Structure 1
Amino acid sequence: MIEVAASRKECFFEDLHVNDQMTVTYQVGGGGHLDIDFWLADPENNALAKHIKQNTGSVSITAEKDGRHEYCFSNQMSSIADKTVSFNVHGIIYITDDDIVAPIEREIRSLAHGLTSVKDEQEYIVVRERRHRNTAESTNTRVKWWSVLQAIVLFSVVGWQVYYLKSFFEVKRII
């Protein structure tokens, strides 16, 4: 989880070899309109993926070149609000057919991939739960203050009515 300041961008790098696979998933957990710009570039700075003003996203690539692949989260469209972004990066290292892999090692890799998927899903659920809890608390606060305002208005109207009705029963003497 990272904090991307207003009018800033945060970039990260992964060194990949040909046929390595990499997946980046992200979600904006707080700040502003809950949107962020994201892009992924190869070692020659060619854009492989670009998301503009998205609150969540996932990008999977298979490296076509050896080198450092860059992915960035940009909050340059906002001049006030900082953004909190939760993201996961995971990948699969390509193994040629020349490498002999034991069946147990294949199963271990399969289980590791499954565990990574479960971990990513749990982190996604935690971010969503936090966002929904914040929404529920905000709604609760608004309802409370609306109820207080209604009570004040009700007592004000009751007080005015008592005063007004009392004036009907006052004896006015004209001499």
Structure 2
Amino acid sequence: MLGKLAILLATLLVTLQLTAAFNLVVPAQERRCFFEDLEKEDNIHVSFQVGEGGHLDIDFWVSDPNGIFVEDVKKSASASFLHVAKMNGKYEYCFSNVFSTITEKSVGFNFQAVRNSAWQNDEIYPLLCIPCLSHPADPLEKEIRELAAGIEEIRNEQEYTLARERTHRNTAESTNSRVVWWSLFQTGILFLICVFQITYLKRFFEVKRVV
């Protein structure tokens, strides 16, 4: 039982170390790119949510070492991608705000890389010192990997949901602020109209004396 717990703990720690959450600001007419060295059969998972700026949209793409787009979306508020590397090399993923002339965009995104070589080369197993892990085809290993993948998927969904909640909250607060200021503006206009009407009517009913 302790051995299983140790395997699960180490697996989750290794998986979580390969996951990162970021927030960045992409100025108008610019883009922000990141690079990741991957080996064939490595998995990368990227999800993002535009939190602030303009119509809450941005361009996003992932390109392989040959510069060919493997994922590409235009003016999207949010998206999630899972890609399996087809070759070794440096992969690039970018957030582009080139189409915007004035407004900068605030983007929150999660990046996860699952190294296939770490499992195949038993890089995790020596840390555990458990003989039963010497067989890559062990059903226990398979179950643990599936459990770790499921936990990471849940974690990514939670972060995605939090990002969407933050976006909707900012939109609601912005709308509320606009309603308040518009109401104050209307109240001011109404007050000025009332003052004008009272002044005008007062002058209209004044009796002019002829000297």
TM-score normalized by the length of structure 2: 0.68
Does 1:133 find its partner at 2:169?
yes
Deviations along 1:92-120, whole A, 9 cap, x unmatched?
44456x95243333333222212222221
The offset of 1:136, in angstroms, is 1.7
Does 1:143 find its partner at 2:179?
yes
The corresponding residue for 2:111 is 89
Does 1:25 find its partner at 2:61?
no
Query: Cα 1:78–1:173, aligned 2, differ >3 Å: closer, same or farther?
Result: closer
Task: Structure 1: state its 5+ residue gaps.
Answer: none
Question: What is the percent sequence identity of the aligned residues?
Answer: 47
Q: Give matches, 1:62-73, under 5 Å.
A: 62-73=84-95
Secondary structure, in 3 states, of the residue corresponding to 1:6? coil
The offset of 1:171, in angstroms, is 5.1
Secondary structure, in 3 states, of the residue corresponding to 2:112? strand
**Whole-Å Cα distance in 1 between the matches of residues 205 and 102 of structure 2?**
61
The offset of 1:63, in angstroms, is 1.6
The offset of 1:34, in angstroms, is 1.9
**Whole-Å Cα distance in 1 between the matches of residues 189 and 32 of structure 2?**
50
Secondary structure, in 3 states, of the residue corresponding to 1:111? helix
Query: Cα 1:91–1:165, aligned 2, differ >3 Å: closer, same or farther?
Result: same
**Whole-Å Cα distance in 1 between the matches of residues 83 and 195 of structure 2?**
70
Q: Is the contact between residue 47 and residue 160 of structure 2 (CA under 8 Å) also seen in structure 1? A: no
**Whole-Å Cα distance in 1 between the matches of residues 135 and 92 of structure 2?**
29
RMSD after superposition: 2.7
Q: Is the contact between residue 50 and residue 167 of structure 2 (CA under 8 Å) also seen in structure 1? A: no
The residue type equivalent to 1:128 in the other structure is: R
**Whole-Å Cα distance in 2 between the matches of residues 21 and 13 of structure 1?**
14
Which of 129, 139, 154 pairs up with 1:118?
154
The corresponding residue for 1:16 is 38
The corresponding residue for 1:37 is 59
Tell me how many residue pairs correspond in the alignment: 174
The corresponding residue for 1:56 is 78
Query: Cα 1:126–1:162, aligned 2, differ >3 Å: closer, same or farther?
Result: same
The residue type equivalent to 1:51 in the other structure is: V
**Whole-Å Cα distance in 2 between the matches of residues 44 and 18 of structure 1?**
14
**Whole-Å Cα distance in 2 between the matches of residues 164 and 3 of structure 1?**
54
The offset of 1:84, in angstroms, is 1.5
Does 1:105 find its partner at 2:127?
no
